[in-house]
């Protein structure tokens, strides 16, 4: 069995996820995991599919034939997934340029791996300015303490609220 990581992007329309799932199913694939979103009128996603080796070309060709959808497929060749403790980080603050860059730069400096990142900006009618929120799923190096990460991130800016805990 092969594990495929598939990225897709195209103009959003009703039935697109169903077309993807039908194509995976009809070509002997098992849909394992995914993260799919609509952003600025575009549908974007990443999914992990398990499929027998002999069906990889068939599935690849079928996915590429879905109308108006760009597809990229990479084989996941990792054999063993190391056991790690995951941590959840929420960053909230007044929206401004550079928040994601500041936080991700500090995390890189600390040797932290980002497994997932979801961001959003919403208006705050009572405050008159938009509020930015970022939700991270993190893997910390074994030697790095959670409170050190918390302290380092809190030093980035007084206007950011940092909430970090074990997932």
Per-residue pLDDT of the chain (167 residues; tens, 9 = 90+): 999 999 999 999 999 999 999 999 999 999 999 999 999 999 999 999 999 999 999 999 999 999 999 999 999 877 665 667 899 999 999 999 999 999 999 999 999 999 999 999 998 777 678 999 999 999 999 899 999 999 999 999 999 999 999 76
User: Architecture of domain 86-166 in CATH?
Assistant: 2-Layer Sandwich (3.30)
Its pTM surpasses 0.95: no
CATH 3.30.70.260 location in the chain: 2-76, 86-166
Taking every pair of C-alpha atoms in the chain, what is the biggest distance, in angstroms?
A: 58
CB atoms near residue 153 (< 10 Å): 21
Which CATH code of 3.30.70.260, 3.40.50.920, 1.10.3720.10, 1.10.287.610 fits the domain covering 2-76? 3.30.70.260
């Amino acid at each position: 069995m092969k594990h495929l990581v598939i990225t897709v992007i195209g103009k959003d329309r009703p039935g697109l996820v169903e077309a993807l799932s039908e194509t995976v199913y009809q070509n002997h694939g098992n849909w394992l995991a995914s993260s799919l979103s609509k952003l600025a009128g575009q549908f974007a996603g990443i999914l992990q599919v398990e499929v027998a080796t002999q069906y990889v070309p068939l599935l690849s060709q079928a996915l590429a034939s879905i109308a108006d959808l760009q597809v990229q497929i990479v084989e996941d060749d990792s054999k063993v997934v190391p056991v790690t403790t995951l941590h959840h980080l929420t960053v909230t603050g007044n929206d401004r340029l550079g928040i994601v860059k500041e936080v991700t730069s500090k995390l890189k400096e600390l040797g932290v791996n980002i497994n997932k990142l979801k961001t959003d900006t919403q208006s705050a009618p009572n405050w008159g300015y938009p509020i930015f929120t970022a939700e991270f799923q993190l893997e910390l190096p074994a030697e790095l303490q959670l409170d050190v990460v918390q302290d380092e991130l809190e030093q980035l800016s007084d206007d950011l609220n940092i909430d970090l805990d074990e997932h």
